[in-house]
Every structure is written in structure tokens, then in C-alpha cells.
Structure 1
Amino acid sequence: MTARGRASTPVFTYDVAISFLWPDRAVAEKIKAGLDDTLSVFLSTREQERLAGQDGLSTFGPIYQSEARLVVTLYRPSYGTTKWTRVEMNAIKSRGLDNGWDFFLLVLLEGPGPKWYESFHLYAPYDGNPSDVLDIIGAIKYKARQQGATLRVLSLDEKAEREAAARDAKVRRLSLIRSTEGMQLAHREVQKLFGFIKTKADAIAKAQHNIRIEVESEGDQLVMRHNRCSIELYWSPLSYNLESGNVLYVREYDGFKALDRGRGSLRGSKLRAEGEIAFDIRDDAPYWNRSKGALDPTRLQTSEQLGEELIERAWKFVPRPQWTHGGPHDPYG
């Protein structure tokens, strides 16, 4: 309290702090990019988490409990089950119970909202559309202003400095991707993806005896077959036609697609769709980038996420006797 008996105005380190599960970092980065010119935003990186070590509670807890004017959570049911999101969630819950929920905005990525956050409070849905991100950015700016934030305007010098920093970061990242270290990391990630697909297919076969996704792999090629359809994955290192340099080609076939084994045999299968997925590195972590020709931080997937999607796609395959548009299309770009 001040000398006149009135509550003092709180001082915040950040206008906005975003809490999220690591696989949802691409969405968080896109939101932050849309806010950086007008608001100060805290977005944790793996480097920050590494430096914090086991002391994350004292390092990150206060940011969400008192140091950020507005807290935004990218929520799905698994939020709060990891070490870092558990710390952040507990800080958010404590603040909400003590001071009310005006400081909080929930972005619903999947499933119902958390039980600790009443449904009548404000939340923003996200279905993966670019327009959803713009709507969320607008909602955050509006709510931040309600909480007393002032939207700033960058000077030309500040804008030029940010653009230069972004260009330098891009050059460093691409250099790492194309380095020997980056190549080795990409190869390990390909094998991780292939291993995940095989394990998932085996689990489906055990749980659903009437469903069998046949998986065969050799070297940098994997083929999934189900219901007279096939999906082929082929990793091509250092494909300079794409910016990243390391590309996973994905092709879908009507019919049985065999492993090439150097012979290029298709056994009567017909190509129906094809796409390219680039290998990417963000904060020293490997990802698959769903953009075609340019790296897009909003379209990143872990190997587990990509494997889940490909398995589901193979599971739902239905042979198509004719092309929809007269030729193969790209569902992966």
C-alpha cells in the first residue's frame, strides 16, 4: 500500500508470457513473431531450460505468477504432464486462485479445456489455420491493453536491427543443417521416424486384429502398405533444390509399392500423390518442416508427430481408381 492507502501499480517484466508444450513451439513462435513489434514477450527456449537446470521453479515460476502482465497458455490435454509445463501450470493456477483470471488467456489446441479453468472465462480456439493465429494475436493485444499494456511502435532503426538479426540467425541455422553434425542429426532422425512408424504399426496390429499396416524398410527408404495402397518415404540428404538441404520425399500409390532395392520396381502401383518434407533444426532440436521450398516455423513437426500422421494416413487409405485432377497432387506441401 502507498502512503495514501492505495494499492501500488504492479511493475511487470513482460507484457506477455506464453506457456506451451515443446511440440507446439511452432505455434508459439508464430504468435510471438506477431507480437514482438508491439509488446514484450517471454517465450522459453531449450537453452533457457538447460541453463535453469533443476531450478526451473524459481527461474520460470515467477514469470507466470507475477512478472508477466498477461499469460497465454497453448493448451492440449497433455499440458501440465511435463516438468516445465507443470511448473508453469502451477504458477498460473496459484495466480488465478489468488487474484482472479483477468491476466490469463487460454488458446485451445485440442480437446476440452482444463478443469482448473472455468469454461465461462475467455479462450481462443486454434484449428491450425493461418487466420486462427492472426485472431489469437489480435485477442492477445486486446487483452493486454485491457490489463494496462501500451502497444509500442518500433522505430526504423529498431526494425532494421531486428531484420538483420533474423537474417544472421537464418544463416547460422542453415549452416548447421548442412554441416556434418547436421547431416548426422538428420540421419538419426530419419531412423527415429522409421522406428516409430514400425513400432506404431505393430501396436495397431496387436490392438486391432483386423487391421494390419505392413511396414518394410531398408536404408533410407520405408514403405507402408494397407488396403491395396502404399506410402513410400525416401530420405535424400543434401538436396540443394530445397533451402534446408535434407529432404524426406513422401509418395502415395494406389497398389502395392515394393522397396526399390536399386531396381525401381513398382509392381503395377500408380503414383497418386507426392510431397517433400525438409529437415530443420530449431534451438538445437530436430524437426520436420512441412513447408515446400522455404523454412516455415509454423509447420514444424517432431518425428513422433509426423509418424503419427503418416500412420493415420495409411490406416485410412482407400484406393482411388481415377485422379481427382488428372494427376498426382501434393498433400504434404
Structure 2
Amino acid sequence: MFFHVQRLINEIVPDEPDPAAANALQEGLGGQFGEMRTMMQYLFQSFNFRGPDGKPFRDLLYGVGTEEIGHVELIATTIARLVDGSPRYQGNPSSLDEPGADGATPLSVALSGGNIHHWLVGAQGALPVDAQGDPWTGKYVYDSGNLPLNLLYNLMLESTGRLQKCRLYEMTANKTARSTIAYLIVRDQAHENAYAKALEALGVEWNKLLPIPKTNAERFPEVETLLDQGLQSKQYTFSLDQLSEAGRLCQGPSPSKDGTTLSTEQAPEGAPMEIATERPEEFGPGLDPELLELVQAAARMEMEEPKGQWGRVG
């Protein structure tokens, strides 16, 4: 069972629209080593887990897999903002900012760069595809059923994903893109550390090679700030009932040999989540006055005090 908190797992810094950067980020979302793949791989390994004695390992997979849901949400929202423009647009009027201004064709920007499907299919939002526009596929998901093999594969996946995100960082100076990319670089290293510790608990000495790749990503200012906060050494459990045993694995010196100690926490505080503005030229959301009144009435009902509660939430 999963609960949704309406906050982003990390803040997205406002900046100018950048459709080309948005398309590059699609690889980090729907590519072979992207966030959709890590989310589905770890969750399916959790769902299929066998052996009650291995509960700490299953709980680790559940915790990282659940965090990846938040990463999918974060990177998809970032892509949407890069296509549509940030909430506090800073200047340089364009058809992104004022569709149809001065007689311009409202969606002409779709022809000049990035992925045309962001406008043609997605109404200026993210898509479950890679940077080439190829759809994400479940064939990416790996679950051998063998715990050491799965952990080795997961470590490789996090390492490759972090390598790609370092390349993405080098592709754009856009603050919106870099704020998300830097966060994912650090969290990928955190997951590398966790899987290395899990392998170490099984007697595998793979952790001696970490971090992989040796990217020296701390030279990126946004990454350095997060590393100074020790974010690369924290694992989140997302366990409301406090039954996760992942903490048995995520403890002691970090395999990255950076002087930090691994620890577990329930969940990050997150950052405020904002809903994007309407886009009439995309007919989105397309609410006529009658339907809008129904939506507003439903919102007023949701603001009332709840009369009951399902399950334990705290």
C-alpha cells in the first residue's frame, strides 16, 4: 500500500523554458537507465521477494523503489516546466510565455527544437519515452529472483544512471534542469552505497570499487551543496508503520569512503508542489464553465473536515 504526499521530493529551481533540455531529460525519465526503469525494477524485485529471513533486503528494495516513484514525479515535473516555462518566468517574451502574441502562431515553438510530441501529444508535458522518443518498455526491468545477482545488477544500474546524469548536467546550464539533475546524481550515489552495503552483508567485496563511475561530480556546485548535507549517505524507508528493517543494512562507514556514515530516515520533508497554469492553445485542461463549477464544488468538499480515516497514517 502506498500513500501520496502532495510535495515534490526536492525543490525545482525556476528558470527560463528550455525545450531542448527537456528532451535530453527524457532519457533520464524513460530511457534504459532512467527513473521509470529503476522504479519498476526495484518494486518488482520487492513484490517477488522470497524468504522471510531476507526481510532487511526486501525492505531496502521497497524503500529505494518507493523513492524512485518520487524521482519519476520530480523529473517528469521538471520536463513539463522546461517545456512550458517555470512558475516565475523571468523575461524574454516568447510564444511559450504568451501564445499567439503579436499574431504569432501559438505553437510554432514546437517546430524549432526538442521533441514535437511534447506539444503534439503531451500538451507541453513529459512523456514516458527516451530522448529519441522511443516508448519506455517493461523489457528493461531485471529480476532474476536471485538476491546477490539482483543487487549486483541494481548497483550497475545506479552507477550507469549517475554517469548519464553527469553527462546531462554538462549539457545544459538551465537552473531548472540542473537542480533536478544534481539531486538525482547525489541520490543515485546514495543508492549505490546502499546496494554495496547489502552486497557486503552477503560477503561480496564489490564495494571496494565504489563510487562508480569516479566522476568527481562534487565539482558541480549544486551537487557539492547536497554532498555537504550528507544526502549521499541517507536512505529513506517510506515506512509509515516503522516496520522497515533496511536500517540493519544501511549503517556504518559509507562504501564511497567519503568519511560519512550510512543512516536511514522515514522520508524527506519534500518541497511545495505547484500546479501548472492553463494552456488554452493546447485545450488544456479544457474545462467549460459548467464543468469548472463541478470541479470547484468538489474542491470545497475536500477542504471540509474528514468524517473518517482509512488505516494508520502516522
TM tier, smaller: under 0.3
- State which structure, 1 or 2, has the greater radius of gyration over its C-alpha atoms: 1
Higher relative strand content: 1
Higher relative contact order at CA 8 Å, sep ≥6: structure 1 or structure 2? 2
Higher relative helix content: 2
Provide TM-score, normalisation by structure 1.
0.26
Provide TM-score, normalisation by structure 2.
0.27
